[in-house]
Structure 1
Amino acid sequence: MFPGVWIGLLAVLAVAAVLTACARYYALRRNLLDQPGERRSHGVATPRGGGIAIVLTLLLAVVAGAFYWPQARTTLLVFGLGLALVAGIGWWDDHRPLPAVRRLLVHVVAASLLAGLVWNATGNPWQAALALLFTTSLINIWNFMDGINGIATTQAILAGAAFALVLPGPLALAGVVLALACLGFLPFNFPRARIFMGDVGSGALGYAVAALVCLASVATTVSWLLLLVPLTAFLVDAGFTLLARMLSGQRWMEPHTQHLYQRAVKGGATHTSVTGMYFVFGLFSITVFNACTYLQPRWEAAVAVTWIISATGLWLLLRKGMRH
């Protein structure tokens, strides 16, 4: 790797940290605080909106990438536009809450940009449709799962590392940059939260991780099912919690504390221990993922299905234990 690339990567880490400090100062000046409540997992008023630092860092990296790799300029700028849309509606919502439908419409537009890139690269409309649905879902999943210190950031770091390991050549830098941008933010949010990510950051992280999945689906031969394995913890907890709320007739779009990680905290576990458990499970997930990326497609799919079913069984077991 060229010395200039190493300098650039260190700059990503430093810029994210500096911008997070600036975001905290802004939030305190504007009294932009998350207040404790029955549907919250924190006990003191805490500044929010720190995820804007990750977003701005990624956008600066997009501009730098477009300058140094002209052949990828269009792809990078389309991704940057989608990221800005998701972050922009999240920033607005952090300042003045918006109806869920309005946010969802923006998410669909941004996801359509990624889907268009997938369609252009593969010529496969079904793969593009899958990218659209997956991206829209992951934006909201990351938002749902951003409820305790460090959990959304550390899972994004793991995802960035996982896809960096399988993406070829300079494309791996996409995963590394995402991981470093999150790492620059992490000390401000974990183990003690001096600022929360906010919707501006959580939705944008979901979009960025979805972009990595779409990129891997185009640039590698890894099956879509196996590409989900690094995200298992969030997909299972968010997906089955949402399904359980729907089946029980609850208003599933309203804020709640029924995710497994939230139940654990409500049951007395610390944010640090719960985030740590999710991180350890994520390490196992990316180990399984990396070990199986050279299998034949049917075996990749078999491993992915087995892993996700096993994770679902673990989720059901833990959820039942916490209920009692």
Structure 2
Amino acid sequence: MHRFLIKTITFALVGCLLILAIALIPGFMVNKFSKFGIKNNSTIALFGHSHSECAYNDTLIPKLTNLSHSAESYFYTFQKVKKYLSQNPQITTVLIEFSNNQIDTKMDDWTWGYTYMSNMFPQYASFMGVSDFELLAKHNSKYFMNCIGLAARTNLIKALSFNYDYTGKTGGYFKIEGSKPLPSSNPANGNIKTSSNKNTISTTNLQYLRKIIDYCTNMHKTVFLIRSPQHPLYEYRHNEAEFSLIRERYFGEIKFLDFNNYPLKNDDFADFGHLNFKGALKFSAYINQRIINGMLNTSSPPHGRSIENRQLATINN
């Protein structure tokens, strides 16, 4: 009986170690051998969500690579930024899309909501730190382990197929052909509401924006925040007062390139928040000319300030 118990325990331990190895070793290999390549002549990297994904046709902006991805919170952008900057020393300038909806608690769902986490976590889990795992586990423990399993399977497939190349798989310009019928672009006709509700701020998303900025400056990159054009009737423009307050208070040392009101017609928009290919064509040509004219020139890169010990919650007071 004693011998049988020892064998059972030994078998269980070996099984646990085998499962642990299957889960961890592929993740280690993905982290070590992953490739995040961009064009050699591309010195400007743009990160963001669907607004910038649809606005910047980087075939029209030779020095820029659009690495934006739809429904991507700064939590996942941070993982991506670390890999692209460490593997592409030709990048000298980083543009980070910063628009009105990125301060909203909607971004929390984009970070740990199961639909988004199950999609993004397997892609970037290998590049996360312990604090990143703790954050997801804290806010969605119910589905976090499920996502761990998805990531383990994804990494195992990558390792077995020796497919570590992320190039072209983490975002890029997205062309939208059509346009929904939109009302007048005159704000007076839309009665855009202002809001004094300050209980809808995603402190997590803002903290990860600071992590991105600090990482970029530590890598000696010049960082800009940039806002793509939004239709005057876009619903999230109601939080402009809060948006401006947050930007000035917590990211005021970072130059803000604001094209929120860049003049476009209704048929240049796919919807209130996104440009279609016609709008992107006009806007991208304009941005390229601005870059040629020195829009991104600066004597030295700005130095980021840590947000970790600062109370974003004071915005709610």
TM-score, normalised to structure 1's length?
0.28
Where relative contact order (Cα < 8 A, 6+ residues apart) is larger, the structure is: 2
Higher helix share: 1
Name the TM-score, length of structure 2 as normaliser: 0.29
